[in-house]
Amino acid sequence: MMSETGIHPSSYRDPSGFVFRSGNTMYRQVNPVYRDHYDHLMQSGLYEKLTQKKWLIPHTETDGQSLGAKDYYKILLPQQIPFISFPYEWTFPMLQDAALRTLKVMRISLDHDMILKDATPYNIQWLDNRMQLIDTLSFEKYEENKPWIAYRQFCECFLSPLLLMHYSKQPLQAMMLAYPEGIPLEIARSMLPWRSRFSLYTWMHIHLHAKYAGKHKGENEQRAHISKKKLLALVDSLQSLIKSLKPGIRQSTWGAYYEEASTREGYFAAKNDIITNWVNKQEGIHTATDFGANDGHFSRIVAAKGIHTIAMDADVLAISSLYEQLKKEKEVSIQPLLSDLSNPAPAIGVNNQERDSLITRIANRDLGLALALIHHLCIGRNIPFTALAGFFASSCRKLIIEFVPVNDPKSQQLLLNKKNIYGWYHAEGFEKAFSRYFRILDKTQVTGTERVLYLMERAS
């Protein structure tokens, strides 16, 4: 959400500059106070090296007067980011790679006599199938013997959640939503098991760090002196520790869904053919959301047409697996996202405007896919058709959705330990609810099942 001035509500923290919108384009203003740091970034070769590696998004300098800018040093037009995701919507490997990217950028910055003054995952985004730094103003000139001012921020924002997930072997993304500024060292320390103290780097970066920070609370942490050699050793130790961490999650509710689905005679092939045919016939589709993407099979069908596709699922292992595959591919435009549609990320921060809700960020995309999903939301989570129809109408212009009847084996599986209170769950009720928002363009029963696929278009 943008303020009336066009300045993004989250861009108020840094006096070096801010992000603002003009029309549908995002710009970054560099304030005069940041002049020396910006010039060093551009002239030292650091910017060129980072953008060549695709570790930092590129930008061009543009005319600020035409945008009505005031009191600026430079106006930058950065590479536009099609979708912003937040760390509480990332799987363990995504957060781990974002942490490692931050450390690699930090290390190469020191080689060019610069240092990162910020170390938050909110400065990292998945773009061009890799994690990239998006904040050009995160760099400042390195001063000999000065400590890394963002060290604690890095430990609380990256290391704390990674270590807690590593030792608990549980997905704890919700903790990052509860602590958007990072899980405090003392809290992380109290939650980690005793055996974590036997890891030298965990002891140093969390336990000792928390003890020191608590003991010297209120004192100026910048008074400490640390040479560049010791600073590089600090970065290397963080890198070694983070590389060694594993999510440890083994159970997946729907991780093997497509393997099982392919064994049902004719079902998967028929479904694949119908959806491919419908997608190929659509025109004017540039953005899409696969609301229950699982391993991303159908997301790939859409993305193969050059459509930017959000592949969303609540299954941690499914999205983790998709992410690992996407890292090896360079031409597929898919955004993996960990999200439960029954409890999507809310708007948070000052005035609830710093970080937009998921509902806001995925609104009005051109195409939506909701395949083998409706029964999980209706029977599994008791969400009525009317609520889902309204949600999908706000989220996409066209919708391909699969209705799974109550007598389907997968619906029956959901009812095993529940009382059947779903007399309203039938095709007629489904069509009636969705017809309030959509026109049904086509529908077809999937071979070998009573499942029905619908192609819908939002009513004007």
What CATH number is attached to the domain comprising 334?
3.40.50.150
Same domain for 238 and 221: yes
Same domain for 21 and 41: yes
What gap in Å lies between CA 128 and CA 293, rounded to an integer? 19
Spell 44-71 as b/e; 16+ CB within 10 A means b: bebbeebbeebbbbbbeeeebeebebee
pLDDT tens per residue, range 146-189: 999 999 999 999 999 999 999 999 999 999 999 999 999 999 99
Locus of tokens 């996409």 = 396
Domain containing 12 equals 1-250
Same domain for 74 and 146: yes
Same domain for 297 and 221: no
Across the range 283-309, mean pLDDT stands at 96
How far, rounded to the nearest angstrom, does the alpha carbon of residue 153 sit from its chain's CA centroid? 19
Same domain for 269 and 130: no
452 CB-near residues (< 8 Å, 6+ apart): 402, 403, 427, 443, 444, 445, 446
pLDDT of 3: 38
Same domain for 364 and 422: yes
Same domain for 264 and 126: no
DSSP per-residue letters across 224-247:
----HHHHHHHHHHHHHHHHH---
Tell how many helices (H) and how many strands (E) occur in the chain.
Answer: 19, 15
pLDDT tens per residue, range 103-143: 999 999 999 999 999 999 999 999 999 999 999 999 999 99
**Last residue of some domain: 225, 250, 275?**
250
What gap in Å lies between CA 239 and CA 96, rounded to an integer? 10
pLDDT of 237: 98
Same domain for 14 and 101: yes
What gap in Å lies between CA 42 and CA 48, rounded to an integer? 7
* Residues in the chain, overall count: 460
pLDDT band at 2 (very low <50, low <70, confident <90, very high): very low
pTM: 0.94
CB-count exposure of residue 427 (10 Å: 0-12, 13-18, 19+): middle
Same domain for 341 and 284: yes
Angle between helices 385-395 and 427-434 (to 10 degrees): 40
Whether residue 263 has pLDDT greater than 60:
no
pLDDT band at 424 (very low <50, low <70, confident <90, very high): very high
**Last residue of some domain: 189, 224, 250?**
250
pLDDT tens per residue, range 352-390: 999 999 999 999 999 999 999 999 999 999 999 999 999
What gap in Å lies between CA 24 and CA 82, rounded to an integer? 11
Same domain for 275 and 243: no
Domains held by the chain: number: 2
Whether residue 98 has pLDDT greater than 50:
yes
Same domain for 140 and 266: no
In contact, 360 and 189? CB cutoff 8 Å: no
106-112 LR contacts (CB < 8 Å, sep 24+): 106/148, 106/235, 107/232, 107/235, 107/236, 107/239, 108/46, 108/49, 108/50, 108/55, 109/46, 109/139, 109/142, 110/142, 110/228, 110/231, 110/232, 110/235, 112/44, 112/45, 112/46, 112/49
Same domain for 88 and 159: yes
